Amino acid sequence: MIIPGEKRPWNDIDIYLQPFIEELKQLWVGVKTFDMLKKENFTLRAALLWTINDFPTDANLSGWSTKGRYACPCCAAQTCSRWLYNGKKLCYMGHRPWLDENHSFRYEHNLFDGTEEFRAAPEQTTGSEIFSMLKQMKFSEEDDPTEAELWKKRSIFFRLPYWKHNILRHNLDVMHIEKKFDIGIQHALHPQVLPTGKSFLTPAIFTMSKKEKEVFCNVLKDIKVLDGYASNISRCVSVKDRRLYSLKSHDYHILMQDLLLVALRSCMSSEVTSCIIELSNIMKSICGKVLMVEELEKLQDRVALTLCNLKKIFPPSFFTIMVHLLVHLPEEAKVGGPVFYRWMYPIERYLEDVDTRYDRPTRNEVFISNDLTKTYLFGSYGEPVGSVEIAELDDISWVQAHRYVLFHHDSLDLLRT
């Protein structure tokens, strides 16, 4: 279903989903269908397991807001967040509850937020509990609301008789979580006053010099991969400007799991590189074709430990909600299975091929205006994309164009017969 219009429907998407929900209810009861192989009728039944969507759409489908202090749909009202007054943004750094009860990081308050951590990992609210809370839903703007008051709406999917019993209802988008793990150059240390009176900003451990950036870009520029494995990433590398640009979602996927490790080893300290290598190995394990439950339980501990190690290196502004969601991926993989059945890559590939007059009006004005029909000999007129070049035809090309019109234009059908 493609919803036309210049703006997305946001929470009003339930209006467009009503026919879809009614069809799912019919399929749950059963629909008479004819089997061509056996030449007989049978009752076809189907159920919706989960939805596959990006993270902002999760709020519109589930009803839980993915913005603000309680942006995590898994932690819900127990989301640990902190407002950065200078950065004017929220950070989500409460990952020590997922560590072992006796782990030393729980007691090292100087390396984290100045407190010791004794809490256990928050338990996720079940579908039945959400369904009970939303029977009499109330909106609230209080500073410390209850979990029931934080929901923005009751999802239309709860009209399905089995939806409240689904353990995994809305998948976290692994594709965009991987993409948002962007290791940027940030300055978070306090400036030092030199004897001359000038202030000197001490470079952080993850800050690269100009020479190190050039080495990093040169490595990515010279990397060769197998045909069909990835796009030509070298075209997205500017050694002169020392930056990457125009990367697609799959390019970030390849960078995170393979290429970034090779490029960083030659230009960054081992303390930072070891954390990024461990992060890459975690993403590789989550995106693997075969997942073992025992390995996923160990992976949960590795994720929490890696995020805590990253906190010792990167500033709080690095830990956005997309970084926090990594801690929930192993548990979600135990319920939903391999990630490649549940991520957004196939959907985005399909949507890239879908262009309507509403998506790109500047490229589809010909469908609205009929004035251009008078200037074209054939009906396949269109709008130029990019720069326009006027070419001059030689004598042979003029003869070929004239012959093509004589043989193919509709107005000459009577003369040809």
List the alpha helices (DSSP H) in 312-357.
321-324, 329-336, 345-352
User: Are residues 165 and 128 in contact, defined by beta-carbon separation less than 8 angstroms?
Assistant: yes
Average pLDDT of every residue of the chain = 82
Average pLDDT over residues 176-181: 79
**What pLDDT, on the 0 to 100 scale, is given for residue 160?**
94
**CA–CA dist 219, 299 (Å, integer):** 30
**What pLDDT, on the 0 to 100 scale, is given for residue 355?**
53
**What pLDDT, on the 0 to 100 scale, is given for residue 368?**
46
pLDDT band at 208 (very low <50, low <70, confident <90, very high): confident
CA atoms within 13 A on the CB side of 53: 13
**What pLDDT, on the 0 to 100 scale, is given for residue 49?**
93
pLDDT band at 35 (very low <50, low <70, confident <90, very high): very high
Which one-letter DSSP state was computed for residue 104? Answer: G
pLDDT band at 366 (very low <50, low <70, confident <90, very high): very low
User: Are residues 272 and 313 in contact, defined by beta-carbon separation less than 8 angstroms?
Assistant: yes
**What pLDDT, on the 0 to 100 scale, is given for residue 374?**
56
pLDDT band at 295 (very low <50, low <70, confident <90, very high): very high
401-415 per-position pLDDT tens digit: 888 888 877 777 777
41-56 per-position pLDDT tens digit: 999 999 999 999 888 8
**What per-residue string of b and e applies to 99-109 under the rule 16 or more CB within 10 Å gives b?**
beeebebbeee
Q: Is 234 exposed, middle or buried (0-12, 13-18, 19+ CB in 10 A)?
A: middle
Strands 243-244 and 237-238: antiparallel
For helices 329-336 and 270-286, the axis angle rounded to 10 degrees is: 20
112-153 per-position pLDDT tens digit: 888 899 999 999 889 898 988 887 665 555 555 666 678 888
Average pLDDT over residues 321-342: 92
Domain map (residue ranges) of the chain: 10-171+345-352, 184-315, 375-416
Q: In this structure, what are the phi and psi dihedrals at residue 127, rounded to the nearest 5 degrees?
A: -65, -35
191-201 per-position pLDDT tens digit: 566 677 777 66
Q: What is the DSSP string of 58-87?
A: HHHHHSB-SSSTT--TTTGGG---EEETTT
**What per-residue string of b and e applies to 110-147 under the rule 16 or more CB within 10 Å gives b?**
eebeeeebeeebbebbebeebeebbeeeeeeeeeeeee
**CA–CA dist 66, 55 (Å, integer):** 7
**What pLDDT, on the 0 to 100 scale, is given for residue 189?**
42
From residue 179, alpha-carbon distances to 173, 216, 219 in Å are 10, 19, 20
**CA–CA dist 246, 265 (Å, integer):** 24
Look at residue 417 and tell me whether its pLDDT is greater than 80.
no
Per DSSP, the three-state class of 345 is helix
From residue 322, alpha-carbon distances to 64, 180, 257, 357, 380 in Å are 16, 6, 17, 33, 45
**What pLDDT, on the 0 to 100 scale, is given for residue 344?**
86
The tokens describing 413, both together, are 């059908």
Average pLDDT over residues 232-257: 86
The tokens describing 22, both together, are 């009614």
**What pLDDT, on the 0 to 100 scale, is given for residue 192?**
62
Look at residue 361 and tell me whether its pLDDT is greater than 70.
no
Look at residue 182 and tell me whether its pLDDT is greater than 70.
no
Look at residue 185 and tell me whether its pLDDT is greater than 90.
no
**What pLDDT, on the 0 to 100 scale, is given for residue 74?**
92
68-102 per-position pLDDT tens digit: 899 999 998 899 999 998 888 999 988 999 999 89
pTM: 0.76
E strands within 173-298?
Answer: 191-193, 199-201, 237-238, 243-244
